[in-house]
Every structure is written in C-alpha cells, then in structure tokens.
Structure 1
Amino acid sequence: MTRQKNNYDKVARQYDWLSKLVFYRSLENAQLSLLKFIPAGSRVLIAGGGTGWILERISQLHHNGLFITYVEISGTMILLSQKRNIKENSVEFVHLPIEDFTPEQDYDVIITPFLFDNFIPERAQPIFWQLHDALKKGGLWLFADFYYDKEKSRWWQRLLLKTMYTFFRLFCNIEADSLFDMSSCFEQGKYTVIHKRFYYFGFIQSIAYSKPA
C-alpha cells in the first residue's frame, strides 16, 4: 500500500511538543502575530492547521461570528482539532489533502501555517493558485513558514533544515527536500505585503498579504 504523502499522523500527538523543543514558541508566535488581521464576521480557510491550537487562539479574539473551514490531511490532527474550544464560531472540518479540496465559496481570509514547505515547486505552485482563486478580491492571506536564503542564512539553518526534512520524510513521507520561495507566487498574484516579521534568527517568516481589489 502506498503511503500518503505529507501526512503527519505518526507525529500528530507529539508535534506541538517537538516544535517547542526545537523552536521554543517561535512557530506559534509567527502564527499568532497574524491573527489580529482577521476581520470580525469573516469566512476563513485554514489549510493544514495541525493540532488545532490556532482555533482556540482565534476564538479568544473573536468569540463568535467566524465561519471557518479547516482542511487537514491528517486524521489524527482532525480528531485533536475537534476537541478545541471554538466558543460560538462555526468550524467545518475537512479531512482531505489541500490539493484535493474544492472550495464551495470564496473566503475573506486564508491561513497557510507551515503548509508550503511540504511541497515540491511543481505542486506548490498549483496549490497556490487554487487557494488564490478561493480568496476574495481584497482578501487577506496570512502566511507563516520557514525561510532560508542560500546567500544570507547561517550555516546552522541549512543543517537544521536538512535535519528537519530527513526526519519528516522518514516519518511523514514529506515529498520536498528543500524550501521553495513562495514569494514569487505572491508577486505574480500582485499581492501587497501589509505585515512582515521574522522569528528564530530569521529562520521563520510571518507575512500578511492583501490580494488586489
């Protein structure tokens, strides 16, 4: 039986603990810094939300009125996410790879937390345009992921990145073995950067993009 690519089932229950062991709270903080941009009453698509802790933090800012679609390939991650306190918001859990998800509506906000680092460029680009088409004009794309510049980044970042890919390819069948610079896609889509911040000595980036109106 062929193993499903980019599926974190095997490490789902340990994922948050592992991420804090290596990055302390940098992965979490990179995502938290973006949540303030979510308007009240929004339709939100979260692609690859992991264990769902982000749902609780969003619900602390918006106790009600949000309509969230939560797409996640890992069944175990979905089960963990369904136990979260979402207050009076509405969340639809979709157990699918994001590339197989067909939106039935347009969204005000799309959140992709550490999603694209899983994909090779040939697959990352079509997924970007698939999500681009699902985002309303003038909508917000909240993007958090790892960042590596071959000319400027530090040697230990290259080593850490290689170690991460080796680990997750072994346990989660990650298809990628290097980072693809997604900024080129956002440039092609003519997105505007309204917020940008780096964490963990520049190894993690947090960006809020606005789609052209």
Structure 2
Amino acid sequence: MKDAYGRIARYYSWLSNLVFGNVLKEANRAFLESIVEKSIMIIGGGDGKSYVGLEENLLGEFWEKSPAMLKLAKKHLSGSKLKFQLGEFQSKRKADFIFLPFVLDTLSDEQLEKLLLQLRENLNPSGKVVFSDFFPPTAFLQKTILRLMILFFRLVTSHSRMDLPDYESFFQKTGYRKVDEKSWENRWIRTQMWVLA
C-alpha cells in the first residue's frame, strides 16, 4: 500500500499548529463530550493527536489509510479502547458516533457520496455523523491559504481535488439531516453534526 502521508506524518501536527494554532484540534474535539459510554468510529484520524487526553472515553474503531499516521495514532492513543484499522474504511460494525476529521475534502465527489451511503449502514438508529472541515473562505488571506494547502497536498500526497466539496448537498442527497454546528475563523472551519433523515 502506497503511503501518501508517509513523508509528512511526523510533521503533520506541527505544521497544522504552525498555521492554525489549536483551531483544527478544537474542531476535531467538538461534540466529543457526548461520547461517554458510546461506541464510535474515527475515519481518517491521522496521527490521533487531536484526541489525546480523551482516551478513556474512546471505544470503537479508528481507521486510517496511512501506515505512518496509524503507527503514530496507536502510540498517541495507546490508553484508549479503540481498535486500529489500516486501509479503506470497510467496517461492518455499528456505532453511535462516526467522526470524519478533515477527511471529506480529500475525496472525489464519487468517493464522498459512496462513503456517506456506506455510513448509513454503520450508524445505530439514533447515531450521529460528526465531520470537521474547511468551507469556502470569504477573506483574502483565507483564500490564499486554502489555495496553498490544496497545492501542497496535491504535490505531496497526490490528492485529486482542486476545490472543496459542497458537503451539505452530499449529506442531504444521501439522506441525512443537520442538527448542530460549531464554527471558527469566520465560519471558514466548521464542525457539523448530522443524523439520518
């Protein structure tokens, strides 16, 4: 398996903090107060650093496509009750919460729709999908940073996207309903909670 993030795995959190401070970590931890004694899935959780300090409440599965990132996540979250899985998400288990931390912007439209349809099968009836990501920016500096980020990840990790998906249209199209949202940086960065419609 080619490791697209292998070259930057050790520096990913440092780079993120350099550009955004704690904002991305805050976005990834949004709504986590609700997961006590709940089964969860984290898909594309990277090095797991966003969840350090919450290990005792993490019960379920952690999916990551990068072997280097997964190795770091296992180290950072060794005190959790997560089962770490390498590769494309293909779980058959049910969960109360599914977290998608800054992963949907890396998927093609086709992949995004396929994943959201698949997650319907993994959610318990009252389950929730929580995703954090970048939304279209309004400020010039944000637009510039976003363009540079897209260029960087296209060069370093071979991401195919050149834009941001219209997340909400995909969620609505695949049968979800938005129930909550938190935002940062003038709504450029948001975490949304969706349930089955």
TM-score by length of 2: 0.90
| Deviations, residues 134-164 of structure 1 (Å, cap 9, x unaligned) | 1111101111000006xxx223322221110
Equivalent in the alignment of 1:69: 61
Report how far residue 189 of structure 1 moved: 4.1
Q: Describe how 1:1-213 pairs up with structure 2 within 5 A.
A: 4=2, 7-38=4-35, 40-59=36-55, 63=56, 66-87=58-79, 89-97=80-88, 101-148=89-136, 153-212=138-197
The answer (yes or no) to whether the contact 2:112–2:170 under 8 Å persists in 1 is: no
Report how far residue 4 of structure 1 moved: 4.2
Identity of aligned residues (%): 27
Q: Which has the higher contact order (CA 8 A, sep 6+)?
A: 1
The CA RMSD measured in Å over matched residues stands at 2.0
Paired with 2:40 and 2:131, the residues of 1 have a C-alpha distance of 13
- Would the alpha carbon gap of residues 12 and 116 (structure 1) be closer, same or farther in structure 2, given more than 3 Å must change? same
Report how far residue 124 of structure 1 moved: 1.4
Report how far residue 203 of structure 1 moved: 1.4
Aligned letter for 1:120? Answer: S
The answer (yes or no) to whether the contact 1:125–1:185 under 8 Å persists in 2 is: yes
- Would the alpha carbon gap of residues 50 and 166 (structure 1) be closer, same or farther in structure 2, given more than 3 Å must change? same
TM-score by length of 1: 0.84
Report how far residue 166 of structure 1 moved: 0.6
The answer (yes or no) to whether the contact 2:113–2:174 under 8 Å persists in 1 is: no
Name stretches of at least 5 consecutive residues in structure 1 with no aligned partner.
none
Report how far residue 20 of structure 1 moved: 0.9
Paired with 2:158 and 2:27, the residues of 1 have a C-alpha distance of 25
Paired with 1:21 and 1:41, the residues of 2 have a C-alpha distance of 34
Residue aligned with 1:10, SS: coil
The answer (yes or no) to whether the contact 2:45–2:64 under 8 Å persists in 1 is: yes
Name stretches of at least 5 consecutive residues in structure 2 with no aligned partner.
none
Out of 76-85 and 110-119, give the one that drifted further. 76-85
| Deviations, residues 168-195 of structure 1 (Å, cap 9, x unaligned) | 1111111211100111122234433332
Paired with 1:166 and 1:144, the residues of 2 have a C-alpha distance of 20
Paired with 1:102 and 1:33, the residues of 2 have a C-alpha distance of 25
Paired with 1:180 and 1:163, the residues of 2 have a C-alpha distance of 17
Residue aligned with 2:7, SS: helix
Paired with 1:132 and 1:157, the residues of 2 have a C-alpha distance of 33
Report how many residues are paired.
197
Report how far residue 37 of structure 1 moved: 2.3
| Deviations, residues 102-133 of structure 1 (Å, cap 9, x unaligned) | 21211111000001110121221111211222
Paired with 1:115 and 1:184, the residues of 2 have a C-alpha distance of 16
